[in-house]
Chain A
Protein backbone atom coordinates (compact mmCIF):
# COMPACT_ATOMS: atom_id res chain seq x y z
CA UNK A 1 0.00 0.00 0.00
CA UNK A 2 2.55 2.54 1.20
CA UNK A 3 5.04 1.40 -1.45
CA UNK A 4 2.43 1.88 -4.17
CA UNK A 5 1.54 5.28 -2.75
CA UNK A 6 5.19 6.34 -2.65
CA UNK A 7 5.85 5.17 -6.18
CA UNK A 8 2.74 7.03 -7.32
CA UNK A 9 3.92 10.17 -5.53
CA UNK A 10 7.31 9.87 -7.18
CA UNK A 11 5.64 10.46 -10.52
CA UNK A 12 3.98 13.70 -9.36
CA UNK A 13 6.03 16.86 -9.78
CA UNK A 14 6.08 19.46 -7.03
CA UNK A 15 5.11 22.12 -9.56
CA UNK A 16 1.65 20.59 -9.62
CA UNK A 17 1.16 22.11 -6.15
CA UNK A 18 2.38 25.54 -7.30
CA UNK A 19 0.09 25.37 -10.31
CA UNK A 20 -2.93 24.40 -8.20
CA UNK A 21 -2.23 26.82 -5.33
CA UNK A 22 -3.86 29.99 -6.72
CA UNK A 23 -7.18 28.31 -7.51
CA UNK A 24 -8.69 28.15 -4.02
CA UNK A 25 -7.89 31.85 -3.52
CA UNK A 26 -9.32 32.80 -6.91
CA UNK A 27 -12.37 30.64 -6.26
CA UNK A 28 -13.20 32.17 -2.90
CA UNK A 29 -12.77 35.68 -4.30
CA UNK A 30 -14.99 34.71 -7.23
CA UNK A 31 -17.65 33.50 -4.77
CA UNK A 32 -17.31 36.74 -2.79
CA UNK A 33 -17.57 38.94 -5.88
CA UNK A 34 -20.64 37.13 -7.12
CA UNK A 35 -22.44 37.36 -3.78
CA UNK A 36 -22.22 33.67 -2.92
CA UNK A 37 -20.54 34.05 0.47
CA UNK A 38 -23.46 35.47 2.39
CA UNK A 39 -23.94 39.04 3.49
CA UNK A 40 -20.46 39.65 4.94
CA UNK A 41 -18.11 38.29 2.24
CA UNK A 42 -14.96 40.12 3.39
CA UNK A 43 -15.04 38.36 6.77
CA UNK A 44 -15.69 34.97 5.20
CA UNK A 45 -12.72 35.35 2.82
CA UNK A 46 -10.47 36.61 5.61
CA UNK A 47 -11.36 33.69 7.88
CA UNK A 48 -11.20 31.11 5.12
CA UNK A 49 -7.72 32.22 4.04
CA UNK A 50 -6.64 32.14 7.69
CA UNK A 51 -7.87 28.56 7.97
CA UNK A 52 -6.11 27.64 4.70
CA UNK A 53 -2.88 29.03 6.15
CA UNK A 54 -3.30 26.85 9.24
CA UNK A 55 -4.10 23.78 7.13
CA UNK A 56 -0.97 24.37 5.07
CA UNK A 57 1.20 24.85 8.15
CA UNK A 58 -0.20 21.59 9.52
CA UNK A 59 0.44 19.87 6.18
CA UNK A 60 4.04 21.08 6.19
CA UNK A 61 4.59 19.92 9.77
CA UNK A 62 3.03 16.54 8.97
CA UNK A 63 5.60 15.63 6.30
CA UNK A 64 8.29 14.38 8.67
CA UNK A 65 6.03 12.39 11.04
CA UNK A 66 4.22 10.88 8.05
CA UNK A 67 7.51 9.57 6.76
CA UNK A 68 8.71 8.43 10.14
CA UNK A 69 5.54 6.75 11.38
CA UNK A 70 3.71 5.78 8.20
CA UNK A 71 6.53 5.55 5.70
CA UNK A 72 4.76 7.94 3.32
CA UNK A 73 7.31 10.12 1.59
CA UNK A 74 6.13 13.66 0.82
CA UNK A 75 9.51 15.27 1.37
CA UNK A 76 9.84 16.68 -2.13
CA UNK A 77 6.56 18.58 -1.70
CA UNK A 78 7.57 20.24 1.54
CA UNK A 79 9.21 23.30 0.01
CA UNK A 80 6.18 23.90 -2.20
CA UNK A 81 3.88 23.55 0.81
CA UNK A 82 5.97 26.09 2.72
CA UNK A 83 6.08 28.62 -0.12
CA UNK A 84 2.34 28.27 -0.72
CA UNK A 85 1.71 28.70 3.03
CA UNK A 86 3.52 32.04 2.85
CA UNK A 87 1.37 33.25 -0.03
CA UNK A 88 -1.85 32.19 1.70
CA UNK A 89 -0.74 34.01 4.82
CA UNK A 90 -0.01 37.06 2.65
CA UNK A 91 -3.46 36.81 1.03
CA UNK A 92 -5.05 36.52 4.51
CA UNK A 93 -3.11 39.57 5.69
CA UNK A 94 -3.94 41.65 2.61
CA UNK A 95 -7.63 40.75 2.88
CA UNK A 96 -7.59 41.94 6.49
CA UNK A 97 -5.72 45.11 5.57
CA UNK A 98 -7.62 46.13 2.44
CA UNK A 99 -11.14 44.74 2.81
CA UNK A 100 -11.62 44.49 6.56
CA UNK A 101 -9.82 47.25 8.47
CA UNK A 102 -9.21 49.28 5.28
CA UNK A 103 -5.84 50.66 6.45
CA UNK A 104 -7.46 52.34 9.49
CA UNK A 105 -5.38 52.35 12.69
CA UNK A 106 -3.35 49.46 11.41
CA UNK A 107 -0.26 50.17 13.47
CA UNK A 108 -2.35 50.72 16.63
CA UNK A 109 -4.07 47.40 15.98
CA UNK A 110 -0.76 45.59 15.55
CA UNK A 111 0.73 46.84 18.80
CA UNK A 112 -2.44 46.97 20.92
CA UNK A 113 -4.37 43.84 19.94
CA UNK A 114 -2.68 40.67 21.06
CA UNK A 115 -4.13 38.40 18.42
CA UNK A 116 -3.05 40.78 15.67
CA UNK A 117 0.43 41.19 17.22
CA UNK A 118 0.79 37.42 17.30
CA UNK A 119 -0.49 36.93 13.75
CA UNK A 120 1.72 39.69 12.39
CA UNK A 121 4.75 38.22 14.16
CA UNK A 122 4.05 34.86 12.53
CA UNK A 123 3.96 36.56 9.13
CA UNK A 124 7.17 38.52 9.73
CA UNK A 125 8.99 35.35 10.83
CA UNK A 126 7.82 33.68 7.66
CA UNK A 127 9.39 36.28 5.36
CA UNK A 128 13.00 35.02 5.71
CA UNK A 129 11.78 31.47 5.17
CA UNK A 130 10.02 32.46 1.95
CA UNK A 131 13.06 34.44 0.77
CA UNK A 132 15.43 31.52 1.36
CA UNK A 133 13.19 28.86 -0.20
CA UNK A 134 15.51 28.37 -3.16
CA UNK A 135 18.56 26.26 -3.87
CA UNK A 136 20.82 29.28 -4.19
CA UNK A 137 20.02 30.32 -0.57
CA UNK A 138 20.48 26.77 0.61
CA UNK A 139 23.98 26.67 -0.91
CA UNK A 140 24.82 30.18 0.24
CA UNK A 141 23.75 29.59 3.84
CA UNK A 142 25.00 26.03 4.08
CA UNK A 143 22.72 23.15 4.97
CA UNK A 144 23.13 23.48 8.75
CA UNK A 145 22.38 27.20 8.94
CA UNK A 146 19.55 26.81 6.47
CA UNK A 147 17.99 23.99 8.49
CA UNK A 148 18.31 25.96 11.72
CA UNK A 149 16.70 29.00 10.08
CA UNK A 150 13.82 26.93 8.78
CA UNK A 151 13.10 25.58 12.26
CA UNK A 152 11.43 28.99 12.63
CA UNK A 153 8.37 27.23 11.28
CA UNK A 154 7.86 25.73 14.78
CA UNK A 155 7.31 29.07 16.54
CA UNK A 156 5.36 30.25 13.49
CA UNK A 157 2.98 27.30 13.86
CA UNK A 158 2.54 27.98 17.57
CA UNK A 159 1.87 31.67 16.88
CA UNK A 160 -0.69 30.68 14.24
CA UNK A 161 -2.51 28.44 16.72
CA UNK A 162 -2.35 31.17 19.37
CA UNK A 163 -3.71 33.77 16.93
CA UNK A 164 -6.80 31.61 16.39
CA UNK A 165 -7.22 30.89 20.13
CA UNK A 166 -7.05 34.61 20.97
CA UNK A 167 -9.53 35.87 18.43
CA UNK A 168 -12.67 33.83 19.11
CA UNK A 169 -15.42 34.97 21.46
CA UNK A 170 -16.11 32.79 24.47
CA UNK A 171 -15.05 29.16 24.81
CA UNK A 172 -14.87 27.41 21.45
CA UNK A 173 -13.51 23.98 20.52
CA UNK A 174 -12.30 24.69 16.98
CA UNK A 175 -9.17 26.74 17.81
CA UNK A 176 -8.35 24.33 20.65
CA UNK A 177 -8.40 21.41 18.20
CA UNK A 178 -6.06 23.25 15.84
CA UNK A 179 -3.71 24.03 18.72
CA UNK A 180 -3.70 20.39 19.84
CA UNK A 181 -2.93 19.13 16.33
CA UNK A 182 -0.06 21.61 15.94
CA UNK A 183 1.36 20.85 19.38
CA UNK A 184 1.02 17.13 18.66
CA UNK A 185 2.96 17.46 15.41
CA UNK A 186 5.65 19.50 17.15
CA UNK A 187 5.86 16.92 19.94
CA UNK A 188 6.98 14.31 17.40
CA UNK A 189 10.16 16.40 17.00
CA UNK A 190 11.18 16.28 20.65
CA UNK A 191 14.30 14.13 20.80
CA UNK A 192 13.80 12.89 24.35
CA UNK A 193 10.57 11.16 23.43
CA UNK A 194 10.92 7.41 22.71
CA UNK A 195 10.10 7.53 18.99
CA UNK A 196 12.68 10.15 18.15
CA UNK A 197 15.62 7.74 18.24
CA UNK A 198 14.05 5.49 15.65
CA UNK A 199 15.85 6.27 12.43
CA UNK A 200 14.28 3.78 10.05
CA UNK A 201 10.72 4.58 9.02
CA UNK A 202 8.07 2.22 10.31
CA UNK A 203 6.51 0.04 7.64
CA UNK A 204 2.93 -1.03 7.20
Chain B
Protein backbone atom coordinates (compact mmCIF):
# COMPACT_ATOMS: atom_id res chain seq x y z
CA UNK B 1 0.00 0.00 0.00
CA UNK B 2 0.97 3.66 -0.21
CA UNK B 3 2.69 4.81 2.92
CA UNK B 4 2.61 8.44 3.87
CA UNK B 5 6.10 9.78 4.19
CA UNK B 6 7.87 6.57 3.24
CA UNK B 7 10.67 7.14 0.82
CA UNK B 8 10.23 6.00 -2.77
CA UNK B 9 13.01 3.42 -2.77
CA UNK B 10 11.61 1.70 0.26
CA UNK B 11 8.10 1.70 -1.09
CA UNK B 12 8.87 -1.00 -3.64
CA UNK B 13 9.72 -3.41 -0.87
CA UNK B 14 6.65 -2.29 1.04
CA UNK B 15 4.16 -3.03 -1.70
CA UNK B 16 1.47 -5.46 -0.64
CA UNK B 17 2.72 -5.74 2.93
CA UNK B 18 -0.19 -6.50 5.20
CA UNK B 19 0.70 -5.41 8.74
CA UNK B 20 0.18 -7.69 11.72
CA UNK B 21 -2.45 -6.67 14.22
CA UNK B 22 -1.69 -4.47 17.23
CA UNK B 23 -2.50 -7.47 19.41
CA UNK B 24 0.03 -9.71 17.62
CA UNK B 25 2.78 -7.08 17.62
CA UNK B 26 2.39 -6.23 21.29
CA UNK B 27 1.79 -9.69 22.80
CA UNK B 28 4.63 -11.70 21.22
CA UNK B 29 7.99 -10.18 22.07
CA UNK B 30 11.58 -11.05 22.74
CA UNK B 31 12.77 -8.67 25.44
CA UNK B 32 14.80 -10.79 27.83
CA UNK B 33 15.09 -8.01 30.44
CA UNK B 34 11.46 -8.87 31.18
CA UNK B 35 11.77 -12.65 30.84
CA UNK B 36 12.59 -15.21 28.18
CA UNK B 37 8.98 -16.24 27.41
CA UNK B 38 7.31 -14.58 24.44
CA UNK B 39 4.48 -13.35 26.69
CA UNK B 40 6.75 -12.24 29.58
CA UNK B 41 7.45 -8.73 28.20
CA UNK B 42 3.74 -7.91 27.76
CA UNK B 43 3.15 -9.09 31.34
CA UNK B 44 6.16 -7.46 33.03
CA UNK B 45 7.14 -4.38 31.06
CA UNK B 46 4.54 -2.14 32.71
CA UNK B 47 7.05 -1.69 35.55
CA UNK B 48 9.43 0.26 33.33
CA UNK B 49 9.51 4.01 34.01
CA UNK B 50 9.77 5.80 30.68
CA UNK B 51 9.00 9.34 31.79
CA UNK B 52 11.43 10.98 32.33
CA UNK B 53 13.77 9.31 29.84
CA UNK B 54 17.29 10.46 29.10
CA UNK B 55 19.53 9.33 26.28
CA UNK B 56 23.25 9.91 26.65
CA UNK B 57 24.84 10.63 23.31
CA UNK B 58 28.60 10.62 23.51
CA UNK B 59 31.84 9.62 21.88
CA UNK B 60 32.90 11.13 18.58
CA UNK B 61 30.11 13.70 18.28
CA UNK B 62 30.15 17.49 18.17
CA UNK B 63 27.38 17.93 20.70
CA UNK B 64 27.68 15.18 23.33
CA UNK B 65 25.28 15.28 26.23
CA UNK B 66 22.31 13.88 28.10
CA UNK B 67 19.26 14.51 25.97
CA UNK B 68 15.72 14.07 27.20
CA UNK B 69 13.54 11.95 24.96
CA UNK B 70 11.14 14.88 24.63
CA UNK B 71 13.95 17.14 23.39
CA UNK B 72 15.06 14.60 20.81
CA UNK B 73 11.50 14.07 19.59
CA UNK B 74 10.91 17.81 19.25
CA UNK B 75 13.81 17.99 16.77
CA UNK B 76 12.80 15.03 14.62
CA UNK B 77 10.23 14.42 11.90
CA UNK B 78 8.12 11.41 12.74
CA UNK B 79 6.74 9.37 9.86
CA UNK B 80 5.21 5.95 9.33
CA UNK B 81 7.20 3.07 7.85
CA UNK B 82 5.74 -0.36 7.25
CA UNK B 83 8.61 -2.83 7.49
CA UNK B 84 9.05 -6.55 7.49
CA UNK B 85 10.43 -7.77 10.80
CA UNK B 86 12.36 -11.05 10.73
CA UNK B 87 13.48 -12.66 13.98
CA UNK B 88 16.58 -14.86 14.02
CA UNK B 89 14.28 -17.57 15.41
CA UNK B 90 12.68 -17.83 11.93
CA UNK B 91 9.37 -16.10 12.62
CA UNK B 92 8.33 -12.81 11.10
CA UNK B 93 5.82 -9.99 11.27
CA UNK B 94 5.03 -6.83 9.35
CA UNK B 95 5.00 -3.78 11.59
CA UNK B 96 3.78 -0.24 10.91
CA UNK B 97 6.35 1.75 12.85
CA UNK B 98 6.31 5.44 13.58
CA UNK B 99 9.64 7.11 14.07
CA UNK B 100 12.44 9.10 12.53
CA UNK B 101 15.56 8.31 10.60
CA UNK B 102 18.55 7.61 12.79
CA UNK B 103 20.59 9.65 10.31
CA UNK B 104 18.60 12.77 11.29
CA UNK B 105 19.45 12.28 14.95
CA UNK B 106 23.11 11.64 14.17
CA UNK B 107 23.26 14.72 11.93
CA UNK B 108 21.70 16.80 14.69
CA UNK B 109 24.39 15.86 17.22
CA UNK B 110 27.16 16.06 14.60
CA UNK B 111 29.17 12.94 13.79
CA UNK B 112 32.92 13.53 13.73
CA UNK B 113 34.90 12.25 10.80
CA UNK B 114 36.85 9.68 12.83
CA UNK B 115 33.66 7.84 13.87
CA UNK B 116 33.15 4.49 12.13
CA UNK B 117 30.59 2.68 14.28
CA UNK B 118 27.57 3.47 16.43
CA UNK B 119 27.12 1.68 19.76
CA UNK B 120 23.75 1.42 21.51
CA UNK B 121 22.77 0.43 25.04
CA UNK B 122 19.45 -0.62 26.59
CA UNK B 123 18.31 0.56 30.03
CA UNK B 124 19.42 -1.74 32.88
CA UNK B 125 17.11 -1.38 35.89
CA UNK B 126 17.01 -4.51 38.05
CA UNK B 127 14.14 -3.15 40.15
CA UNK B 128 11.99 -2.67 37.05
CA UNK B 129 13.26 -5.51 34.87
CA UNK B 130 12.82 -8.94 36.51
CA UNK B 131 14.65 -10.71 33.67
CA UNK B 132 17.94 -9.08 34.69
CA UNK B 133 18.05 -11.43 37.69
CA UNK B 134 18.80 -14.23 35.24
CA UNK B 135 22.22 -14.39 33.57
CA UNK B 136 20.84 -15.18 30.10
CA UNK B 137 23.03 -12.45 28.64
CA UNK B 138 25.75 -10.16 29.86
CA UNK B 139 23.68 -7.13 30.89
CA UNK B 140 23.17 -4.37 29.87
CA UNK B 141 22.05 -5.31 26.35
CA UNK B 142 24.28 -3.62 23.80
CA UNK B 143 24.26 -3.48 20.02
CA UNK B 144 26.18 -1.80 17.25
CA UNK B 145 26.05 -0.78 13.62
CA UNK B 146 28.65 0.32 11.16
CA UNK B 147 28.27 4.06 10.56
CA UNK B 148 27.06 3.60 6.96
CA UNK B 149 24.42 1.15 8.16
CA UNK B 150 23.35 3.59 10.85
CA UNK B 151 23.14 6.46 8.35
CA UNK B 152 21.16 4.41 5.81
CA UNK B 153 17.75 5.96 5.13
CA UNK B 154 15.95 2.70 6.01
CA UNK B 155 17.44 2.69 9.52
CA UNK B 156 15.09 4.32 11.97
CA UNK B 157 14.41 5.07 15.60
CA UNK B 158 10.89 3.86 16.32
CA UNK B 159 8.77 5.73 18.82
CA UNK B 160 5.36 4.39 17.86
CA UNK B 161 3.34 1.58 16.30
CA UNK B 162 0.03 2.14 14.47
CA UNK B 163 0.29 5.83 15.31
CA UNK B 164 0.27 5.19 19.05
CA UNK B 165 3.19 5.50 21.46
CA UNK B 166 5.36 2.41 21.26
CA UNK B 167 4.38 0.01 24.07
CA UNK B 168 6.93 -0.80 26.75
CA UNK B 169 7.20 -4.45 25.68
CA UNK B 170 8.19 -3.26 22.21
CA UNK B 171 10.98 -1.01 23.48
CA UNK B 172 9.50 2.27 24.70
CA UNK B 173 10.17 5.07 24.48
CA UNK B 174 12.64 4.72 21.63
CA UNK B 175 14.16 1.74 19.88
CA UNK B 176 16.24 1.02 16.82
CA UNK B 177 14.71 -0.60 13.73
CA UNK B 178 17.02 -2.01 11.06
CA UNK B 179 14.65 -3.89 8.77
CA UNK B 180 17.22 -5.91 6.80
CA UNK B 181 18.81 -7.41 9.93
CA UNK B 182 17.55 -10.01 12.38
CA UNK B 183 15.33 -8.51 15.04
CA UNK B 184 17.80 -8.67 17.91
CA UNK B 185 19.92 -5.99 16.21
CA UNK B 186 17.02 -3.58 16.67
CA UNK B 187 17.86 -2.75 20.29
CA UNK B 188 15.08 -1.56 22.58
CA UNK B 189 14.62 1.20 25.18
CA UNK B 190 17.84 2.97 24.27
CA UNK B 191 19.61 4.99 26.98
CA UNK B 192 22.94 5.52 25.28
CA UNK B 193 24.26 6.10 21.78
CA UNK B 194 28.02 6.34 21.31
CA UNK B 195 29.94 7.15 18.15
CA UNK B 196 33.11 5.11 18.21
CA UNK B 197 36.10 4.11 16.10
CA UNK B 198 36.20 0.36 16.76
CA UNK B 199 33.51 -2.27 16.25
CA UNK B 200 31.50 -2.16 19.49
CA UNK B 201 30.37 -5.31 21.36
CA UNK B 202 26.91 -6.70 20.56
CA UNK B 203 25.24 -8.82 23.26
CA UNK B 204 24.26 -11.92 21.29
CA UNK B 205 27.49 -11.83 19.33
CA UNK B 206 29.46 -11.77 22.59
CA UNK B 207 27.39 -14.63 24.03
CA UNK B 208 27.63 -16.90 21.02
CA UNK B 209 29.66 -15.55 18.08
CA UNK B 210 29.19 -18.77 16.08
CA UNK B 211 25.43 -18.33 16.06
CA UNK B 212 25.04 -14.54 16.03
CA UNK B 213 27.35 -12.44 13.92
CA UNK B 214 27.98 -8.71 14.31
CA UNK B 215 26.23 -8.01 11.03
CA UNK B 216 23.32 -10.47 11.35
CA UNK B 217 21.85 -9.50 8.02
CA UNK B 218 18.79 -11.56 7.13
CA UNK B 219 20.14 -14.19 4.75
CA UNK B 220 18.19 -17.28 3.66
CA UNK B 221 21.40 -18.86 2.33
CA UNK B 222 23.25 -18.89 5.65
CA UNK B 223 21.66 -21.09 8.27
CA UNK B 224 21.75 -20.49 11.96
CA UNK B 225 23.76 -23.47 13.28
CA UNK B 226 20.66 -24.82 15.00
CA UNK B 227 18.00 -24.16 12.37
CA UNK B 228 17.49 -23.23 8.74
CA UNK B 229 16.97 -19.59 7.82
CA UNK B 230 15.60 -20.43 4.35
CA UNK B 231 11.98 -20.01 5.38
CA UNK B 232 9.99 -18.28 8.09
CA UNK B 233 6.70 -18.65 9.93
CA UNK B 234 4.65 -15.50 9.51
CA UNK B 235 3.00 -14.72 12.83
CA UNK B 236 -0.79 -14.42 12.71
CA UNK B 237 -1.50 -17.19 10.21
CA UNK B 238 -2.94 -19.51 12.82
CA UNK B 239 -2.13 -23.12 13.51
CA UNK B 240 -1.72 -24.20 9.88
CA UNK B 241 0.12 -21.15 8.50
CA UNK B 242 2.45 -22.17 5.71
CA UNK B 243 6.11 -21.29 5.99
CA UNK B 244 7.16 -18.71 3.47
CA UNK B 245 10.54 -18.16 1.82
CA UNK B 246 12.85 -15.71 3.61
CA UNK B 247 14.02 -12.91 1.34
CA UNK B 248 17.63 -11.83 1.00
CA UNK B 249 18.20 -8.84 3.30
CA UNK B 250 14.58 -9.42 4.35
CA UNK B 251 13.35 -7.99 1.04
CA UNK B 252 15.50 -4.83 1.17
CA UNK B 253 18.28 -6.19 -1.05
CA UNK B 254 18.01 -3.45 -3.69
CA UNK B 255 18.38 -0.80 -1.01
CA UNK B 256 21.16 -2.22 1.14
CA UNK B 257 23.15 -4.89 -0.76
CA UNK B 258 25.68 -2.27 -1.90
CA UNK B 259 26.66 -1.67 1.75
CA UNK B 260 28.27 -5.10 1.69
CA UNK B 261 29.96 -5.06 -1.73
CA UNK B 262 33.05 -7.22 -1.65
CA UNK B 263 32.16 -8.89 1.64
CA UNK B 264 31.63 -12.64 1.80
CA UNK B 265 28.27 -12.79 3.53
CA UNK B 266 28.76 -16.40 4.59
CA UNK B 267 31.82 -15.25 6.50
CA UNK B 268 30.61 -11.87 7.77
CA UNK B 269 27.43 -13.27 9.30
Contact = CB atoms under 8 A, between A and B. Distances in A.
Interface of A: 32-33, 35, 38-43, 45, 99-102, 104-105, 108-109, 112-115, 166-173
Nearest to B134: A173
B134 A114 contact: no
19 contacts: A33-B239, A38-B38, A38-B39, A39-B23, A39-B24, A42-B239, A42-B241, A43-B233, A104-B228, A104-B230, A105-B228, A113-B226, A115-B226, A167-B226, A168-B36, A170-B204, A170-B208, A171-B136, A171-B137
Contacts, number: 70
Contacts of B204: 170
A114 B226 contact: yes
B32 A170 contact: yes
Nearest to A100: B233
B28 A38 contact: yes
Contact of B239 (A41, A102, A105, A109): A41
A41 B91 CA distance: 12
Interface of B: 20, 23-24, 27-28, 32, 36, 38-39, 89, 91, 134-137, 204, 207-208, 223, 225-228, 230-231, 233, 235-236, 238-243
A99 B240 contact: yes
B92 to A, nearest CB: 11
Contacts of A108: 228
A122 B227 CA distance: 19
Given A170-B32, A172-B36, A105 B242 contact: no
A110 to B, nearest CB: 12
A41 B241 CA distance: 10
Q: Decide if the interface of chain B is mainly helix, strand, loop or mixed.
A: loop
B239 A171 contact: no
Given A42-B233, A100-B233, A170-B204, 15 more contacts: A38-B27, A38-B38, A40-B38, A40-B233, A40-B235, A42-B241, A43-B91, A45-B239, A102-B242, A102-B243, A104-B231, A105-B230, A169-B36, A171-B135, A172-B36
A112 to B, nearest CB: 8
B28 A40 contact: yes
Nearest to A108: B228
A171 B231 CA distance: 26
B32 A35 contact: no
A109 B228 contact: yes
Contacts of A170: 32, 36, 136-137, 204, 207-208
Contacts of A38: 27-28, 38-39
B239 A32 contact: yes
Contact of A39 (B27, B135, B243): B27
Contacts of A42: 233, 239, 241
A48 to B, nearest CB: 12
Contact of B28 (A39, A100, A168): A39
Contacts of A168: 36
Contacts of B225: 113
A109 B38 CA distance: 24
A61 B27 CA distance: 37
